[in-house]
Amino acid sequence: MSSRQTSKLGVRQMTVIALVAVLMLIAKLVLRMPIKVSGHGGVLWIAALIIGRAAVRYPAAGTLMGLLGGTLVAIFAPGDTAAFFTVAKYVLPGIIVDILAPLFGERFDRILPAVLTGALAHAAKVGVDVAEGIAAGLTGTALMAGMTVSLLLHIGFGALGGLIAALVLRVLVRARVPQLAHIPDSGDSR
Amino acid sequence: MRARVVLAAVALVLVAGVAVSWFFESRQVPGTTPASGSYRVRVTRGGRELASFDLAALQAVGSKTVTVQGGQETGPALLDVLKRAGVSEFSALTILGAGIRDDGRLEIAVADVGPDTVLAVAKRGTVKVAGPSIPKAKRVRDVTEIQVR
């Protein structure tokens, strides 16, 4: 395990995880823009997921945030998706953020790592959509139609979420937020 | 150095994902619509098939936007679909679905099928039954068959 990570989950870490999970629910329920563009809701919760993972530094924090957030969404904003797939749509991005965080040295305040992590994490949601379609018996054109555009939109909005996360993290680091003390305020983050 | 390799790998995965998606999407028969895939809705009576609709055929029946349980649903009216299938009278319907998002079965009496009961088209190219007298929790998604009695 990286020395930058912590192996313990304290009350503060669990509070951050819970806050991010609630933000995921709020993003789903309240903060949706009245535009019919696939994936736009991800901007906020992907940003929250990345900021939360940077603050907690527990190896599975992103997964836990996704699990808790996805469960809340499945309960309070179920929509037309089976609970399993709803939870998976949040857990998978969390797993990806967890995998990439140590590989990027826990430096999501850097623009490129945050943007690419957000893009990949949000794109994973489309993978769950495909699995959901296959489970529904869709094949061929019915399954794949519009998939590329949807994937590009998810990548774009995920990248935007990552960018927002990086910019917010920089501000928080400069404000010397204790949870982000492991990130140096170098001012040369890329 | 490691971070740059990871950055390149992530970018590569994203590009590969888009390329694979584009490849599979473009491999579909030119000129077909999402509706021409395998998904169909059958209308049956006593085990006999009266009609079978793909999504394009359902959308050709008509499109109506209704507000039910606080949300907007758009799709052909169920009564119009039944009429197109040649059903003029019925006492009850059994709506069957794929059963992965819900029970996959709903019994509706004729009194509960009104002009605002629709087969709402979902983003994934399937339809769900929605209407003022159908509670959200009882909706059947990915409808595959409408049994008429």
- The Cα of A36 is separated from the nearest Cα of chain B by a number of Å equal to 11
Q: Is residue B43 domain-shared with residue B16, that is, in the same domain?
A: no
Q: Is residue B40 domain-shared with residue B25, that is, in the same domain?
A: no
Yes or no, beta carbons of B38 and A107 under 8 Å apart:
no
Q: Is residue B26 domain-shared with residue B38, that is, in the same domain?
A: no
Instruction: Determine the residue of chain A that is closest to B11 in CA distance.
Output: A116
Q: Is residue B52 domain-shared with residue B115, that is, in the same domain?
A: yes
Q: Is residue B89 domain-shared with residue B142, that is, in the same domain?
A: yes
Please write down the long-range contacts of A19-23, taking CB distance under 8 Å and 24 or more positions apart: A19/A52, A20/A45, A20/A48, A20/A49, A20/A51, A20/A52, A20/A65, A20/A69, A21/A65, A21/A68, A21/A69, A21/A71, A21/A72, A22/A69, A22/A72, A23/A48, A23/A69
Q: Is residue B26 domain-shared with residue B42, that is, in the same domain?
A: no
Q: How many CB pairs under 8 A join A and B?
A: 108
Q: Is residue B10 domain-shared with residue B81, that is, in the same domain?
A: no
Q: Is residue B62 domain-shared with residue B107, that is, in the same domain?
A: yes
Q: Is residue B55 domain-shared with residue B105, that is, in the same domain?
A: yes
- Alpha-carbon gap, residue B7 to A118, rounded angstroms: 12
| Probe site for chain B from A97, A148, A157 (most B CB atoms < 10 A) | A148
Q: Is residue B21 domain-shared with residue B83, that is, in the same domain?
A: no
Nearest CB neighbour to A137, from listed B17, B33, B38: B38
Q: Is residue B6 domain-shared with residue B68, that is, in the same domain?
A: no
Q: Is residue B89 domain-shared with residue B25, that is, in the same domain?
A: no
More confident residue, B123 or A103: A103
Question: At B122, which CATH number?
Answer: 3.90.420.10
Range of the domain at B15: 1-30
Domain count, chain B: 2
Q: What value does the mean pLDDT take over residues A155-166?
A: 95
pLDDT of residue B117: 95
Q: What value does the mean pLDDT take over residues A106-115?
A: 92
- Widest CA span in chain B: 73
Q: pLDDT tier at A1 (50, 70, 90 boundaries)?
A: very low
Task: Report pTM.
Answer: 0.69
Yes or no, beta carbons of B10 and A139 under 8 Å apart:
no
